[in-house]
Structure 1
Amino acid sequence: MSTLVIAKKDFEDAVRARTLQVMVAFFVGFTTLLFHYHRSRLGEERTFDILFDGIVGMLGVVVPILGMMIGYRAIVGERESGSLKLLLSLPHSRLELMLGKFLGRSVIIVVTMAVGFALVGVQTILFTNLFSLPAFLFAAGEITLFGIIFVAIAMAFSTAMRSSMKAAIGALGLTVLFSFMWDLVTGSIMRFVHPPPMSGEPTPPPNWTTLLQRINPRRAFMEISIVREPIPFYLDPWFGWVIVGFWLVVPLGLAYRRFEQSDLS
């Protein structure tokens, strides 16, 4: 029960501080611009998937940054202000505090994504004849899940660190790595362990290199196209949920272990 009380208070604080309103306004404006930009660039082949591929691709970069911004001060901000001791003097355990903060800030992401995608869905119906409810719900759910994962990652840094600066650097660094640098890093590793042949047909790289690409939560559900037979279990579609579960549970779990053993100063 304490977890839900903390989550409710955290969400209400975001509303009072206008954090939620600013997030919704930004996301609605950004998605509207993306929608009309990609709608104007549709060629002769007009499908919902083609329209939303570009939108989801851009949101897959922006939404993790929003999740990071929401989560990185969740615990460390309370520590720096001195209110952490007060919170834990109430009938809340450290685990309940961490989970409550995570749920409250995840709800901010869910509400923001719901409003933004609802308006994009309305515009898709009004301005095109391409709307597909299953594909639309999948895209909205996928992006929302990305946002929640990065809330969890940012909160892990917030829980483990003693200053907002360190939490921000850690959370932003990992977000930038996953959003902008992952292909460069994994591509460099793949070229080192599996250099392209000087002549002849290239051979598929080892399967573990594809898993390396897939570790990025933004690529957990990537389409596996070129792999060596037989396909190992970690390249099956269902394994994407294992990767998502890892990023939701393990960072928070490790951070909580550190938080539980630390003093509150």
Structure 2
Amino acid sequence: MSTLVIAKKEFEDAIRARTLQLLVAFFVGFTTLVFHYHRSRLGEDPTFTTLFDGIVGMLGVVVPVLGVMVGYNAIVAERESGSLTLLLTLPHSRLDIMLGKFLGRSAIVVVTVAVGFILIGIQTILFTDLFSLTEFLLAAGEITLFGILFVAIAIAFSTAMRTSMTASIGALGLTILFSFLWDFVTGLIVQFVHPIPATGSRITRTPAPNWTTLFQRLNPRRAFMEIGFVREPIPFYLDPWFGWVIVGFWLVVPLGLAYLRFQNSDLA
């Protein structure tokens, strides 16, 4: 019950501080621009999938940053101000506080993404004849869960760190790694362990080890893109359904490790 009380307070505080309104306004404006940009680039045989693949791809960069911005100072800011000690004098445990903050901040992301996607859906119906309710709901659900995942990562840093600066650097650094640098870094590692033969070489390159593909998939952004349920004769960790395991890992493990540190830390 304490968890829900804290979650409700977090959401109401975001409304009072106009944080939610500003996030919604930004996200609505951004999604509108993205929608019309990709609509203008549709080819001769447009489909809903081609339209939304581009939209989801761009939102897949912005939504993680939004999730981090919402979550990175959730707990560490109260630790710095001393209000966290006061909060713990009430009938709230440290687990209640962490989970309540996570649920409340996740609700902010859910509402923001929902409003943006509703308007995208309306524009799709008004300006095209491509709308597909099933694919629309799947895309909205994917981006929403993606945002929640990065709220979890940000809350984990906020719980484990002692200053807002270190929490923000950690959470944003991980987001930049996943959004922009992961393919480059993993590509270098794969090239190191499985180099491409020089031009003109008689050596035929053998397939890369399966673990290199798993390593590339550990990025939750890529795991989301490859989620599916089609069975193939490949190692289980390369099967599309294993993407859910990777997503679950990034959703649960950072929060769990942060809570263990939070539970045993001195709040002073």
TM-score, normalising length from structure 1? 0.95
Query: What amino acid maps onto 1:206 in structure 2?
Result: P
Query: What amino acid maps onto 1:252 in structure 2?
Result: L
Q: Does 1:232 align with 2:235?
A: yes
> Which deviates the most, 18-27 or 236-245?
236-245
Cα distance, 1:202 vs structure 2: 4.6
- In structure 2, the CA distance between the partners of 1:242 and 1:172, relative to structure 1 (3 Å rule), is same
Residue 124 (structure 2) aligns with: 124
- Superposed CA RMSD: 1.4
Cα distance, 1:130 vs structure 2: 0.6
Residue 258 (structure 1) aligns with: 261
8 Å CA contact retained: 1:214, 1:222: no
> Which deviates the most, 163-172 or 191-200?
191-200
Residue 107 (structure 1) aligns with: 107
Residue 161 (structure 2) aligns with: 161
Give the count of matched residue pairs: 261
1:86 alignment partner, SS class:
helix
- In structure 2, the CA distance between the partners of 1:202 and 1:137, relative to structure 1 (3 Å rule), is farther
Cα distance, 1:194 vs structure 2: 1.3
Residue 40 (structure 1) aligns with: 40
8 Å CA contact retained: 1:71, 1:155: yes
**Structure 1 portions without partners, runs of 5+:** none
Question: Taking every aligned residue pair, what percent have the same amino acid on both sides?
Answer: 80
2:74 alignment partner, SS class:
coil
Residue 178 (structure 1) aligns with: 178
- In structure 2, the CA distance between the partners of 1:131 and 1:101, relative to structure 1 (3 Å rule), is same
Query: What amino acid maps onto 1:82 in structure 2?
Result: G
Cα distance, 1:170 vs structure 2: 0.5
8 Å CA contact retained: 1:221, 1:237: no
Residue 60 (structure 2) aligns with: 60
Cα distance, 1:91 vs structure 2: 0.1
Cα distance, 1:230 vs structure 2: 4.3
- The 1-side partners of 2:111 and 2:207 are apart by 42
Residue 194 (structure 2) aligns with: 194
**Structure 2 portions without partners, runs of 5+:** none
- Spell out, residue by residue over 1:221-256, the C-alpha distance to the aligned partner (whole angstroms, 9 max, x if none): 3449xxxx9410111122111111111111011011
Residue 208 (structure 1) aligns with: 211
Residue 217 (structure 1) aligns with: 220
1:220 alignment partner, SS class:
helix
- The 2-side partners of 1:103 and 1:223 are apart by 26
The ranges of structure 1 where at least 4 consecutive aligned residues each deviate by more than 6 angstroms after the TM superposition are none
- The 1-side partners of 2:168 and 2:195 are apart by 37
Query: What amino acid maps onto 1:254 in structure 2?
Result: L
TM-score, normalising length from structure 2? 0.94
- Spell out, residue by residue over 1:195-232, the C-alpha distance to the aligned partner (whole angstroms, 9 max, x if none): 123357654321111111111111113449xxxx9410
Residue 90 (structure 1) aligns with: 90
Query: What amino acid maps onto 1:71 in structure 2?
Result: G
8 Å CA contact retained: 2:226, 2:243: no
Residue 249 (structure 1) aligns with: 252
Q: Does 1:146 align with 2:149?
A: no
Query: What amino acid maps onto 2:253 in structure 1?
Result: V
8 Å CA contact retained: 2:142, 2:224: no
8 Å CA contact retained: 1:214, 1:221: no
- In structure 2, the CA distance between the partners of 1:37 and 1:28, relative to structure 1 (3 Å rule), is same
- Spell out, residue by residue over 1:134-193, the C-alpha distance to the aligned partner (whole angstroms, 9 max, x if none): 111111111111111110101111000110001011111101000110010011111111
- The 1-side partners of 2:262 and 2:225 are apart by 34
